[in-house]
């Protein structure tokens, strides 16, 4: 296998193969995030062609976000049982099928089935838990930095493709945007098949920077994961983690994180700006600019999470995000006002993930961190779904998005206070290994 040859070649150069796995994961999360976020920005195109209402289309996005989140803990269990590589390839195949079939859709129920259910399951199999799994399995040192790097790829991928998709949709139609996305996903599948490996032990390695772990220990953990059903592993992790106040704080604050990010901004910022006279392409460029700042902010957050108290990092992230959302309606939607919003909000778009993953690994242990984070991430997507549908309902029934943005900003301020109620870490919560 090519990975064995590359691992040996990199070892001679004193480069750990985990960095190549991280790069492959980065590419995967970048493009699958495009599949997650790209269709959401085609809302205007769908309205023009099919005359569907904002709430109708938002319902499909809400279904996708719910399934995307609820798949998290089960995706982690699937990765533990069947391997990361196999699950990524299955996910990519499912996403491509759902997108390809949507090229012929004509009814709202087809939109909900394909862009809601199929894409929800497909993207959920490579959700944030993929980055958490790779980081915790392959890295002991630099883990926070790797989590930040991979998280940035996911969030940035949801934003940087947006101007391209909208431009193609305006010039050639939304179906060409979806076709391009299918091609990119197929290319990623080839790269994953060639380079991805499940664990360091597959190549006779230990995690990067690990001085005490053994290959035998990693193999034992893999065998233990494979000995139980997917549902049992996921639900048992939830049962044990739910005994901890830390879990509930992380879950609730991540619920708020979802209401204030991809459930609100991604599908609704462009039509919100249109309500104030900002052209669609300008709004798309604004999202892309936020994606660039997000990449810088999230990688920096990963670096900071290796060095500072993650509770206080989350306090500042949620607080500043809440203030930026409350500021947006007061910006008058001028070029300068939107630019200030894009910079501050973009830096904080998903910077909350590295500290949250670090707290999960710190409090619940490496082997179960991806399962526990999967449930925390499920809460995130429930919040995102609530915001996606709620904002659409607000626009349809109240003829304004303002209540949705004010509510999200206020909730972020609540999250910033709540997260500091977590006591400083003394020793890990014992979540029983199976």
The reply to whether 216 falls in a domain is no
**What is the pLDDT at residue 277?**
87
The reply to whether 203 falls in a domain is no
The candidate with the shortest Cα–Cα distance to 267, out of 388, 364, 371, is: 388
Query: What's the structural domain count of the chain?
Result: 1
The reply to whether 289 falls in a domain is yes
Residues in CB range of 206: below 8 A, 6 or more apart: 200, 213, 214, 215, 218
Cα–Cα dist 278/161, whole Å: 19
Cα–Cα dist 248/418, whole Å: 10
First to last CA, the chain: 32
**What is the pLDDT at residue 414?**
95
The reply to whether 204 falls in a domain is no
- Our measurement of the distance from residue 246's CA atom to the centroid of its chain's CA atoms, rounded to an integer in Å, reads 21
Residues in CB range of 402: below 8 A, 6 or more apart: 329, 394
Give 139's DSSP letter. B
The secondary structure of 245-260 as a DSSP string is HHHHHHHHHHHHHHHT
**What is the pLDDT at residue 228?**
52
The reply to whether 212 falls in a domain is no
Range of the domain at 358: 2-197+225-421
The reply to whether 220 falls in a domain is no
> pLDDT 10s digit of each residue in the chain, 434 long?
687 788 788 888 888 998 999 999 998 988 887 777 667 667 778 888 888 887 778 788 778 877 877 777 777 778 878 888 999 999 999 999 999 999 999 888 898 899 889 988 888 887 677 887 888 888 888 877 887 778 777 666 666 677 777 778 888 888 898 899 899 999 999 999 999 988 888 888 888 887 654 444 444 445 544 445 566 677 878 888 888 899 999 999 999 998 998 788 877 888 888 888 888 778 877 877 887 788 888 888 888 888 888 899 999 999 999 999 999 888 888 888 888 898 888 888 778 888 888 888 788 876 677 778 888 888 888 898 889 888 988 988 888 899 999 999 999 999 999 999 888 765 544 444 44
Q: Which helix (H) or strand (E) holds 409?
A: helix 402-418
The reply to whether 56 falls in a domain is yes
Q: Residue 111 sits in a domain of what CATH number?
A: 1.20.1250.20
């Amino acid at each position: 296998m090519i990975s064995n040859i590359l691992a040996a070649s990199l070892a001679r150069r004193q480069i750990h193969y985990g960095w190549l796995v991280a790069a492959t994961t980065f590419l995967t999360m970048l493009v699958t995030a495009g599949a997650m976020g790209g269709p959401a920005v085609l809302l205007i195109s769908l309205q023009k062609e099919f005359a569907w209402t904002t709430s109708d289309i938002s319902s499909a996005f809400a279904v996708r976000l719910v399934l995307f989140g609820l798949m998290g803990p089960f995706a982690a269990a699937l990765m533990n049982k069947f391997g990361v590589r196999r699950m990524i390839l299955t996910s990519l195949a499912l996403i491509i099928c759902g997108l390809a079939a949507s090229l012929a859709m004509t009814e709202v129920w087809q939109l909900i089935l394909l862009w809601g259910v199929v894409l929800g399951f497909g993207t959920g199999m490579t959700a944030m838990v993929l980055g958490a799994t790779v980081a915790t399995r392959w890295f002991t040192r630099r883990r926070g930095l790797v989590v930040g790097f991979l998280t940035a790829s996911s969030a940035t991928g949801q934003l940087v493709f947006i101007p391209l998709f909208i431009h193609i949709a305006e010039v050639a139609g939304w179906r060409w945007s979806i076709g391009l996305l299918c091609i990119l996903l197929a290319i990623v599948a080839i790269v994953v098949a060639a380079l991805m490996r499940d664990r360091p032990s597959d190549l006779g390695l230990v995690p990067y920077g690990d001085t005490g772990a053994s290959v035998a220990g990693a193999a034992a953990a893999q065998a233990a994961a494979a000995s139980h059903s997917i549902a049992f592993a996921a639900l048992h992790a939830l049962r044990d983690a739910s005994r901890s106040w830390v879990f509930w704080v992380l879950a609730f604050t991540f619920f708020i994180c979802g209401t204030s990010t991809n459930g609100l901004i991604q599908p609704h910022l462009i039509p919100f700006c249109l309500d104030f006279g900002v052209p669609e392409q300008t709004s798309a460029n604004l999202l892309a600019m936020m994606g660039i700042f997000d990449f810088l902010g999230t990688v920096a957050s990963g670096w900071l999470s290796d060095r500072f108290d993650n509770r206080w990092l989350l306090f500042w992230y949620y607080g500043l995000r809440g203030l930026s959302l409350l500021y947006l309606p007061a910006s008058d939607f001028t070029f300068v006002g939107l630019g200030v919003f894009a910079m501050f909000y973009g830096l904080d778009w998903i910077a909350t993930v590295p500290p949250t993953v670090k707290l999960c690994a710190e409090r619940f242990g490496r082997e179960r961190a991806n399962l526990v984070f999967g449930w925390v991430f499920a809460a995130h997507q429930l919040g995102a779904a609530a915001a996606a549908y709620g904002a659409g309902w607000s626009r349809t029934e109240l003829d304004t998005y303002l209540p949705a943005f004010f509510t999200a900003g206020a909730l972020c301020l609540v999250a910033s206070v709540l997260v500091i109620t977590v006591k400083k870490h003394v020793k890990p919560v014992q979540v029983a290994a199976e």
